[in-house]
């Protein structure tokens, strides 16, 4: 059990920050921002670096900033 926890903490993470409001953009883009866990401008979340996360970032790349 401890091995799994250590392996998960070593996994690559992405820091995603909401830089622009979703107001005025497609409703689906607002839902993607919400799905990433971003709540307000300037809010930062740390998510695993995987295909699903990268796909969501691609949909809203004009609204977010990514540091990895």
Domain extent listing, the chain: 12-67
List, edge to edge, every strand of the sheet that includes 44-48: 44-48, 13-18, 64-67
Burial status of residue 32 (CB atoms within 10 A of its CB: 0-12, 13-18, 19 or more): buried
CATH of domain 12-67: 3.30.1390.20
How sure is the predictor about 4, in pLDDT bands with cuts at 50, 70 and 90?
low
Q: pTM of the prediction?
A: 0.82
User: Does residue 5 have a pLDDT over 70?
Assistant: no
| 7-33 average pLDDT score | 91
């Amino acid at each position: 059990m401890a091995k799994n926890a250590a392996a998960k903490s070593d996994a690559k993470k992405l820091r995603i920050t909401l830089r622009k409001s979703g107001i005025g953009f497609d409703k689906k883009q607002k839902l993607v921002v919400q799905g990433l866990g971003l709540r307000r401008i300037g809010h930062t979340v740390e998510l695993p670096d995987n295909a699903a996360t990268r796909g969501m970032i691609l949909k809203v790349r004009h609204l977010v900033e990514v540091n990895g």
